[in-house]
Amino acid sequence: MKKKLYFIAIFIASSLFANNIDFQMAEKNPQRVAPSTPNQILSFNNSINEPMKSVVNIAAKRRVISNAANIPFQMFNDPFLRRFFGDQFNEQFNQNRIQRSLGSGVIISKDGYIVTNNHVIENADEISVTIGNNPKEYNAVIIGKDSDSDLAVIKIEGDDFEAIKFGYSTDLKVGDLIFAIGNPFGIGTTVTQGIISALNKDHVGINRYENFIQTDASINPGNSGGALVDSRGALIGINSAIISKSGGNNGIGFAIPVAMVKDVVKKLITDGKVTRGYLGVVIDDLKPNISKLYKHRTGALILDVAGDTPAQKAGLKRGDLIYMINNVPIKDRKALQNTIASFKPNETISIKLERDKKDMQLNITLGNRAGLVTSDANNGKFLGGLKLTELNADIIKRFRLNANASGVLIGYVEPNSEAEKVGFQPGDVIIQIEDIEIKNFADMQQAIRKYNKQLKRVYVNRYGQTIPFAIK
């Protein structure tokens, strides 16, 4: 009997508790509507017809020399091998071929300026453009490119092109209907539909300055550089990349927001390049377990301050929390990085920070990020066209270097660049710049700051031989 009463008591208590929950219910029997009348079709043709005229197809050609025998580059200059195979030893194993790539672009002015992704036209020797399904080809020239944002501007000759209308990044909302327009797989102009899945996405690993629009609209190979437009047909982003294990569309695509596009494009057209301010700190978001030690609940936390940088000279320290720049709130690491990048070198900014629960204000004159060494993953170029990689066990094995080798490897030399003309070759290992011995990127950084914009001696190890070069 006691057991039965116990279960009854539990049932009554549960029922009383459930009756206290105030569920927010939607209205019953929502109305379902047809697009309009039985004689009409729901269509966005009028919205996307205009931007489709502004999206172009881009074909890039690049002449490359491939090593058919997979022989390390340094061996081609080995005196012993040249003695037996002759001076044409290099040419016996190298093959010239044409590398082609397809992508998309967006006309942004009547006189033929086109924005696209940097990776679409990077290192191209020839660029041709077609508009829509018109077979006429235009030869394009590169106005400027920026690997850090993965944006580039090219230009074709003419004065009556259909320029796209720009939207506003601040107007975007998750769930907005959008369209991706591009040239997937080189089959011609194509439109796919989706929604905005997320905003302000970073940690994607695509480029340095990440603030992506995420969408489920199909973005496939060849769509890169194309337009992401809203339901009015206004440009809200430049399609950049997808996350895919197979190479096909998995419903996770990313576009560079129009606000960043406008900023970078203006600088590329005006100066031919993008120069960004440089602070010199390693930063992170303010994590929940650390935030209790600070008065401010948002900001960018300084983890390290590099030597001989604007940050060190101004007195920034590890543990400082930057929460405002020029009276603009800084919410997190990404906001600080993008804000600093929006300023030009030598600009003086006002930084508000918290240190030991006290508010401080510092005025800092920014440096120039263009002179810094970046990693191979970020398409970093140095010394007029070199792409560099730090040595590790895999690199040493692949290039058959000495097991005790130290320095920074030249993985690629841009064709027709200053570095190629001077004589640098892929496979060379930079071991010293002037009086600074090079073992890693940090040493390169120090050498760049010390000898920036002046003629300097660069020593490389090429298959056991030390060779000096002079370059700015």
Annotated catalytic residues are 119, 150, 224
User: How many other CB atoms are found less than 10 A from the CB of residue 332?
Assistant: 17
Distance CA 21, CA 2 (A): 30
26: helix, strand or coil: coil
The candidate with the shortest Cα–Cα distance to 336, out of 391, 285, 396, 393, is 285
Distance CA 256, CA 241 (A): 9
Distance CA 451, CA 440 (A): 17
Query: Which alpha helices (H) appear in 225-309, and where do they start and end?
Result: 258-271, 288-291
Question: Is 19 exposed, middle or buried (CB count within 10 Å of its CB: 0-12, 13-18, 19+)?
Answer: exposed
The string over 337-348, giving b where at least 16 C-beta atoms fall within 10 Å of a residue's C-beta and e elsewhere, is bbbbbebebeee
316: helix, strand or coil: coil
Tokens of 144: 């400027």
Distance CA 350, CA 364 (A): 7
Residues forming beta bridges with residue 103, ordered by sequence position:
58
The conformation of residue 166, written as its DSSP 8-state character, comes to B
Distance CA 140, CA 366 (A): 35
Handedness of CA 437, 440, 446, 451 (dihedral sign): positive
Distance CA 119, CA 151 (A): 8
Handedness of CA 279, 323, 204, 344 (dihedral sign): negative
CA triple 207-196-203, angle to 5 deg: 25
Contact yes or no for 399/392 (Cβ under 8 A) = no
For 3, phi then psi, to 5°, come to -65, -40
Tokens of 371: 């002179």
Distance CA 279, CA 349 (A): 10
Distance CA 387, CA 147 (A): 12
CA triple 472-376-439, angle to 5 deg: 65
Distance CA 320, CA 356 (A): 8
